[in-house]
Structure 1
Amino acid sequence: MAPNPPYKICFVPKSREEEEEDEKIYKRCKEIVATTLPTTKGRSGKPIYQYQGFWYDSGVHGVGPLALQEHFKARPSDILLASIPKCGTTCLKSLAFAVMNRKSHPPSVQLQQQHPLHIFNSHDLVPRMEWILYNNNLNGDRISNLDILPSPRLFSTHMPYTSLPQSVALSGSRIVYICRNTKDNLISWWHFINKIRSNNSLEPIKLEEAFEMFCKGKSSLGPFWEHVLGYWKASLERPQNVLFLKYGEMVAEPALHLIRIAEFIGCSFSLMEEKQGVVDQIIKLCSFENLSNLEVNKTGTCGIGIPNNAFFRQGKVGDSANYLTSEMLEQLDQITKQKWHGSGLTL
């Protein structure tokens, strides 16, 4: 049996005083979610609630986003991988983990079968803070103690930039944000939700219904446009702390963007490593073709029980053209033009 993911060590017994303080925070967060926040029916079959302008799945996130804001104390050395769901998160997590751990886990072909990415889904190796680490509904009232983790710590989040804990900006933590073409994001989200619904014995959602909800901003962590724009503006204001990536560009030039990521997070490749082909080895290790065919990603489950194969469909750019009508495409273009007018952002 494979060992637990490395971050599991942060779930350790706390003192009674610490546990009582944690429980007060969670109780207060639960009351806020239950009594003061707008809610509506979610696409996965669970209610969703609106917090600070964005929508969260109560079944997945619980009170994690609120608890994260109260608990988390960032370090200057922290690396945070951010995205809205279905924008290349799995790809980014795999690449960042492989880059940061290439000394202890070489990506060479001869050693790839022992690599953690061959044993764990990348969502287990790079835990989402508001999903795994700060959601005590999921962890059976276990509260994570992240202070015992060595630096640099690598986490992920789907939370919008404006809702991140203040300590992230104040500490100078680095954020790598990945986004995707609006239309491809919609189609990927629709397929993913229907996969989850199928596993829960629910009828699939029609594309027309998913499209309407997406345009209203009621997709997971939506509105999409505001989420992306928040990180885009942050990358312009604080380029030394926020790196903004586009999935389509990464697919087109993977080596160029992998080198950018490595430099940004403080793990630059040496000339010798580039000469030895380490960059190409990591790209191959983390490719959609390789990861999607691994046994752990075909049959395993991650975190809260979502099948790992739900995170791998096609990974292609432009697939939305096979599903959306010309009217849908035009409406999305109009919303995008209006939302991002004057920002300089294009996808």
Structure 2
Amino acid sequence: MESSLPSTQILDSGESAEGKNEAKNYNEVMSTLPKVKSLNGYDYYLYQGFWYAPFFLEGLMSVQEHFNPQSTDIFVASFPKTGTTWLKALTFAILTRSRLSGSTTSALLSKLPHDCVPFLEYDLAQNPSNRDLAIPLVSTHVPYSCLPKSIISASCKIIYICRDAKDAFVSLWYFLAKQRRSENVEPLPLEKSFELFCNGIANYGPYWDHLLGYWRASLEFPEKILFLTYEEMKKDTAAHVKKLAEFMGCSFTLEEEEGGEVQMIISLCSFEKLSNLEVNKNGKHRPDTSIAIQNSIYFRKGEIGDWANHLTPEMGARLDDIMDQKLKGSGLKLPR
């Protein structure tokens, strides 16, 4: 989601003098930052080593100053369009399963997964109380090095998901293109967007630096950070659902496993199930705000390797080479 909203709309304090001063401070900081035209035509600003759309940069600066997590919070972190929707659905379903008498009562059947898990840079930047404290899930796209220090010092757990860069780029381009067309604006051509992406210019990019931050942190703090890939999760979803439950401190009991609870969660959170729900076909995300977006835009294909239908082999090889160079020596090798 991108926006050119004025700074005051991100602030919990609204039209208060304090809120206006804070917005002015954010604008003053942004006026000093390098900027470049982005994949969707907006200016992106370089802040602490990463590119941000102004709206999300304002939210980031706000939570860096003010956010206080619960020590039990679990953050679902990702670069945009790398499996975020699926991971939110799975973690939410796992954590809330004890509330259910059956999957037919899950909130996921009537809400977009993004409406079930609050977003750090928007929901909690606007108002820290925009959450159900009984469900300790928070989502974010913020790079690890830019997370509020309060999150790191509180020893919160983080679950990070990523995917092959080629599929990530194609998914991101389609998401932004659909969004722009819904606003009656022609999106940037795929080829031009690809050049920007290869140069690291994307919201929360460069992609490789985003990956490396969480990867290195997961090696240093394996008890606090779980690093996952979309491809491996698709390959053995059941094993990963159980791994997620164990990491979050709510492992499945033998009785639950024998009763088919793992498979029920997998089915409930599947692309086929979620994308065909009425709420996700015709509903809107944040419908009463100026950044409302069709829920259906979050569901395209969910396939591995679809990049080959949109990028030339030369483009694919180029991005693979870039990723190999950037990740060299880190020990991280993404599935392809």
* Structure 2: distance between partners of 1:290 and 1:204: 29
Distance 1:149 1:309, change over 3 A: closer
* Structure 2: distance between partners of 1:145 and 1:20: 21
Q: In the TM superposition, what is the alpha-carbon distance from 1:150 to its structure 2 partner?
A: 2.7
Match of 1:118 among 98, 109, 112: 109
Q: In the TM superposition, what is the alpha-carbon distance from 1:20 to its structure 2 partner?
A: 5.9
SS of the aligned residue for 2:250 comes to: coil
Distance 1:302 1:283, change over 3 A: same
Moved over 4 A (4+): 19-24
Q: Partner residue of 1:101?
A: 96
1:242-271 C-alpha deviation (Å, 9 max, x unpaired): 000000011111100010011101111111
Asked if the contact 1:107/1:278 (under 8 Å) is kept, the reply is no
* Structure 2: distance between partners of 1:271 and 1:167: 36
1:307 paired with 2:294, answer yes
Q: TM-score, normalised by structure 1?
A: 0.87
1:321 paired with 2:308, answer yes
Q: CA RMSD in A?
A: 1.9
Q: Partner residue of 1:32?
A: 29
1:43 paired with 2:26, answer no
1:86 paired with 2:81, answer yes
Q: Partner residue of 1:261?
A: 244
**Unaligned segments of structure 2, at least 5 residues:** 1-11
* Structure 1: distance between partners of 2:138 and 2:332: 26
1:294-328 C-alpha deviation (Å, 9 max, x unpaired): 01111111133111111100000011112221221
* Structure 1: distance between partners of 2:114 and 2:262: 22
Match of 1:251 among 234, 250, 253: 234
* Structure 2: distance between partners of 1:84 and 1:250: 16
1:125-144 C-alpha deviation (Å, 9 max, x unpaired): 1121102221x4xxxxxx33
Matches within 5 A, 1:1-347: 24-33=21-30, 35-58=31-54, 60-61=55-56, 63-108=58-103, 112=104, 114-134=105-125, 136=126, 143-145=127-129, 149-151=132-134, 153-303=136-286, 304-347=291-334
1:177-229 C-alpha deviation (Å, 9 max, x unpaired): 00001110011111111101111111132221111010011122110000011
Q: In the TM superposition, what is the alpha-carbon distance from 1:106 to its structure 2 partner?
A: 4.3
Distance 1:199 1:152, change over 3 A: closer
**Unaligned segments of structure 1, at least 5 residues:** 1-12, 137-142
* Structure 2: distance between partners of 1:50 and 1:321: 31
* Structure 2: distance between partners of 1:202 and 1:287: 32
Which amino acid in 2 is paired with 1:50? L
Q: In the TM superposition, what is the alpha-carbon distance from 1:40 to its structure 2 partner?
A: 2.1
SS of the aligned residue for 2:98 comes to: coil
* Percent of aligned pairs with the same amino acid: 46
SS of the aligned residue for 1:240 comes to: coil
Which amino acid in 2 is paired with 1:41? K
Asked if the contact 1:107/1:282 (under 8 Å) is kept, the reply is no
Distance 1:21 1:269, change over 3 A: farther
* Structure 2: distance between partners of 1:158 and 1:199: 23
SS of the aligned residue for 1:103 comes to: helix
Which amino acid in 2 is paired with 1:32? V
Q: In the TM superposition, what is the alpha-carbon distance from 1:23 to its structure 2 partner?
A: 5.2
* Structure 2: distance between partners of 1:341 and 1:167: 31
Asked if the contact 2:35/2:45 (under 8 Å) is kept, the reply is yes
1:271-296 C-alpha deviation (Å, 9 max, x unpaired): 10001001000000000000000011
* Structure 2: distance between partners of 1:249 and 1:86: 16
Asked if the contact 2:166/2:307 (under 8 Å) is kept, the reply is yes
